[in-house]
Structure 1
Amino acid sequence: MNNNSVRKQTISGAIWKFCERISGQIISFVVSVILARILMPNDYGLIALVFIFTTLCDKLVVCGFATSLIQKKSADDKDFSSVFYLSFCIAIVLYGLLYVGAPLIADFYDKFDREQLISVIRVLGLGLFIMAFNSVQQAYVSKHMLFKCNFYSSLGGVAVSGIVGIMMAYKGYGVWALVAQNLILTTVSAIILLLAVRWYPKLCFSFGSLKNMFAYGWKIFVSSIIKMLYNDLRSLIIGKFFTPADLAYYNRGQTLPQLVDTNITGTIDSVLFPTYSKLQDDKLAMIVAMRRAVKTSCYVLMPALALMAAVSTPLVSLLLTDKWLPCVPYMQILCFSFMFSPVEMENLQSIKAIGRSDIVLKLEIAKRGIGALLLVISVPFGLLAIASSMLIGNIIAAILNASPNKKLIGYSVGSQFKDILPSLLMSILLYVCVLAITDSLSSMASWIQFSVGICFGISVYVIVSFLFKVESFLYIKNMIFNSKQRL
């Protein structure tokens, strides 16, 4: 496939992926706001704890084979079907372990309602069987860059599950509204994707196929497990040593900035991995694509997070009510923590696409080892220190991930941080200016503080970008202008 064809597929895939995320996340965000206003922090604390265990099992179900299917140049029906049957068998084993182990988990986390925690674990665990099928579907979609199908499945799943969740919350089902929402989301999304893609497992299975893919995929799998355990380690520790409400406040403070990061960086990453895989033999084309991705995603993500941090108090009060205001300090710190995720993720995707899963694993061990050490040191100093340790750890992770690409494709750490420096400096300026404005309006209604802060912040960022002719600003402006001309 030539570079022009890859470029067209990438742009088309990025548009559909962005539409999927934006439309789905808008609905999801509205639903989450409504639910947060109805439900209590303790409900969210319990579901956050259970998600740690079910998400770990989800990762174990996939076992890195989904990434292998995308990376493998000649993956066929035998490969996809073999991965499906293996994943389903793993799901059966893991659900059995979850079911039996639920009382042990409840005994360890003794600050939570024991019987309710056991029941929620056992019911949410049923989603593993859906994940076994959906993970292969998602790999098929990414492999063939059929992101239009993802748009419909994601939108349908979010809409149906949101309606059910809100209705149950209003009727007083508490945490079970969140359980139902999660299970219905994955089920409806899988059904719609099945109808759209029409991929079905065939009656074929090959241990040889799995063995070949596992040689690449196991390192990615172990890396993802290490990353997930590291990310969830904070919640596990908070759930043990602090109250369910504390866990809910911390997770809520993380949710909003993570939502912004997922929609921007996640959209680009999901499209770029298959793109990088197609360009893995053309290092020059890869470095051009990667530089553009890093610069553009940072130019958009950094100010968005800085703006969210600056208006976090009126934002939380306006959307979630004052009962959630304790999450504001964590949100502000974590907004800055996620700013460096494009550097970390784009480098990781290029290394994976080249086929150097061994480097990915080594990086993950080093990054998460350092991050875990920082976390352990921070625990005695409280939740703010725990959040701060994540910020420091993410900066270190970005530097470590960028290091190998100087040798692999000629894109050094210094060059990468030079590329993102304008966006970082402008975002810091934006944060300081908007925070000063919102503080001066603290006596006014939350919606006034929020509206003025948002409008002022966007104006500052655009004006500075225009005056200093920031390259990413000009690139986005030209891309929008050219798109209008084609219409």
Structure 2
Amino acid sequence: MRRKIVTGFFWKFGEQISSQLVSFVLSIILARLLTPNDYGVVALVNVFIILANVFVTSGFGTSLIQKENSDDLDFSTIFYLSELTSIFIYIIIFFAAPLIATFYKNSEMVLILRVFALQLPISAFNSIQQAYISKHIMFKKVFVSTTISAILSGLLGIAMAYSGFGVWALIGQYLSNTIIISITLAMQISWRPQLMFSWSAGKPLISFGWKMLATSLLGEFFNQLRSLILGKVYSASDLAYYNRGLRFPELISNNVNNTISSVLFPVLSEYGNNLEKVKNGLRRAIRMSTFILMPLLFGMMVTSKEIILLLLTKKWIAAVPFMQILCMSCVFDTVSNENIQALKAIGRSDILLKLEIVKKPIYLFLLLLGLKISVMAMAETMVIYNVLAVLINMSPNRKLLNYSFTEQIKDIIPALLSSIAMSFIVSFASRLDLAIGLVFFIKVILGVLSYVLIAILFKIRAFKEILTYRTK
């Protein structure tokens, strides 16, 4: 199991980095070529595609991983259900596109939405491929496929951007990436949809999956609601600055959390009803992930100005305060995520749905409160919500896994305090009257050295665990 975790994490993290790196480079190029207003339109359209994707990629594939002995009949049944759902959702988007464009007073959105949504049936197929790979912990194959698709689709997107296609460059990159990764995965794994379907086989999977789908839909809808409201109440430029500020911390947070989710869920699922092993696996994951993620986010917060100026130029300087605040909103994401993976692994999708129902009224209240004040306040309320959300997500495992708040806080505190101390040390470099690139380089070196030194001096357990993993 130890080998599975380490190997799976290595290949999955490599896959995340390879795909996100290309997307990140493309987004930087587009940010330089497009105006903040243009970029805001892309961000707004993407909200609807993300929400639509929840219906075809969440829930059902997860049920295949969670079921102990899912077979070809299970996979084929869920495949056909996912495909039918994706086609139905595409039809809705196709006919709703003019209404959406009218609501946001942007006729360009009609064609963009209709073309962009073509990825939904392909994503449905890919979600079952991903479930098969996760079930068998075959993440090396995903790494190969994702790397190939990221490079090819990235080259296409960059070529389109330089040829003057504007927002269509991003759409071309997304669509080609989805197509290529599905083709390359099909060439590497043995699973193919069979001409078989069974309601009796599908019912228990649907029973678990619909709760996961509802949970994901609630979570994603409210996550994207902020952008929907920003795009309507404030200007597209405000939305662009907010999303640019969020993009950088999300790049780090999502890569780490997606990697952990993909590896931790199937591994913990193998423990079955051995709750003690689930708890021990969860504790180790929290210690190690916070030790890695927290310093990255605190470090990004104190280097946000240099990052924006170096990568996006002064045109995007207004995104800096958003980036600083939103770095803090992502600090506890990994703790929430890992508690959720443990609940999924022991089959408690019902509790996950209840947690979302509890959290979302709080989210909506804070969102409306921030909206009434300013765009910046909307970012600040995200920090408050995420602190409350992590406490709520931690709560069920106190009884289910006997993992108390005190134990969880003890596992989190070393990384949190070390990261705060590191960021305080790094902040002194801001006073240097040097070229912006040199200041950034000094801050990075100072941050790495000070964080490692703190870990050694205070004998932080997670640091020792990471070193042990590396030497095995």
| TM value normalised by structure 2 | 0.98
Tell me what 1:278 maps to.
Answer: 270
Partner AA of 2:455 in structure 1: S
Tell me what 2:390 maps to.
Answer: 398
CA contact (8 A) 1:39 1:169 kept: no
Partner AA of 2:267 in structure 1: T
- Of 39, 44, 47, the match for 1:44: 39
Q: CA deviation at 1:177?
A: 0.7
Tell me what 2:462 maps to.
Answer: 472
CA contact (8 A) 1:273 1:353 kept: yes
Tell me what 1:342 maps to.
Answer: 334
Partner AA of 1:425 in structure 2: L
Aligned counterparts of 1:51 and 1:26: Cα–Cα separation in 2:
19
Tell me what 2:296 maps to.
Answer: 304
Q: Secondary structure at the match of 2:331?
A: helix
Unmatched segments (≥5 aa) in structure 2: none
Tell me what 1:53 maps to.
Answer: 48
Query: Superposed, which structure 2 residues align to 1:428-447 within 5 Å?
Result: 428-438=420-430, 440-441=431-432, 443-447=433-437
Q: CA deviation at 1:257?
A: 0.5
Q: CA deviation at 1:313?
A: 0.3
Aligned counterparts of 1:195 and 1:361: Cα–Cα separation in 2:
36
CA contact (8 A) 2:58 2:216 kept: no
Partner AA of 1:377 in structure 2: L
Q: Secondary structure at the match of 1:237?
A: helix
Tell me what 1:366 maps to.
Answer: 358
> What is the RMSD computed on CA atoms of the aligned residues?
1.3
Tell me what 1:24 maps to.
Answer: 19
1:15 to 2:5 alignment: no
Partner AA of 2:126 in structure 1: N
Tell me what 1:204 maps to.
Answer: 196
Q: CA deviation at 1:244?
A: 1.3
Tell me what 2:252 maps to.
Answer: 260
Aligned counterparts of 1:103 and 1:21: Cα–Cα separation in 2:
35
Aligned counterparts of 2:411 and 2:197: Cα–Cα separation in 1:
47
Q: CA deviation at 1:73?
A: 0.8
Aligned counterparts of 1:374 and 1:334: Cα–Cα separation in 2:
15
Tell me what 1:85 maps to.
Answer: 80
Tell me what 1:413 maps to.
Answer: 405
Partner AA of 2:295 in structure 1: P
Tell me the matched-pair count: 472
- Of 222, 228, 232, the match for 2:220: 228
Q: Secondary structure at the match of 1:193?
A: helix
Tell me what 2:416 maps to.
Answer: 424
CA contact (8 A) 2:52 2:89 kept: yes
Tell me what 2:239 maps to.
Answer: 247
Query: Superposed, which structure 2 residues align to 1:80-159 within 5 Å?
Result: 80-110=75-105, 113-114=106-107, 116-159=108-151
Aligned counterparts of 1:272 and 1:477: Cα–Cα separation in 2:
19
- Of 447, 450, 462, the match for 1:457: 447
CA contact (8 A) 1:315 1:446 kept: no
CA contact (8 A) 1:312 1:328 kept: yes
Tell me what 2:313 maps to.
Answer: 321
Q: Secondary structure at the match of 1:339?
A: coil
Q: Deviations over 1:274-322 (max 9, x none)?
A: 0111113111211111111001000110000000000000111001111
Aligned counterparts of 1:475 and 1:74: Cα–Cα separation in 2:
32
Aligned counterparts of 2:58 and 2:156: Cα–Cα separation in 1:
31
Of 411-420 and 296-305, more deviation after overlay is shown by 411-420
Tell me what 2:261 maps to.
Answer: 269
1:65 to 2:60 alignment: yes
Aligned counterparts of 2:35 and 2:177: Cα–Cα separation in 1:
22
Partner AA of 1:453 in structure 2: K
Q: Secondary structure at the match of 1:102?
A: helix
Q: Deviations over 1:13-59 (max 9, x none)?
A: 11211221223333332332223222222232111111111111111
Q: CA deviation at 1:196?
A: 1.1
Aligned counterparts of 1:92 and 1:25: Cα–Cα separation in 2:
27
Q: CA deviation at 1:63?
A: 5.3
| TM value normalised by structure 1 | 0.95
Aligned counterparts of 2:39 and 2:186: Cα–Cα separation in 1:
31
In 2 relative to 1, CA 210–62 (structure 1 residues): closer, same or farther, beyond 3 Å? farther
Q: Deviations over 1:192-215 (max 9, x none)?
A: 111111321100011122211111
Aligned counterparts of 2:313 and 2:182: Cα–Cα separation in 1:
34
Aligned counterparts of 1:414 and 1:370: Cα–Cα separation in 2:
24
Tell me what 2:367 maps to.
Answer: 375
Of 285-294 and 53-62, more deviation after overlay is shown by 53-62
Q: Deviations over 1:342-382 (max 9, x none)?
A: 11011111011111111111111111221111111110111
Partner AA of 2:379 in structure 1: A
Aligned counterparts of 2:95 and 2:194: Cα–Cα separation in 1:
32
Q: CA deviation at 1:242?
A: 1.2
Aligned counterparts of 1:332 and 1:436: Cα–Cα separation in 2:
16
CA contact (8 A) 2:18 2:150 kept: no
CA contact (8 A) 2:419 2:451 kept: yes
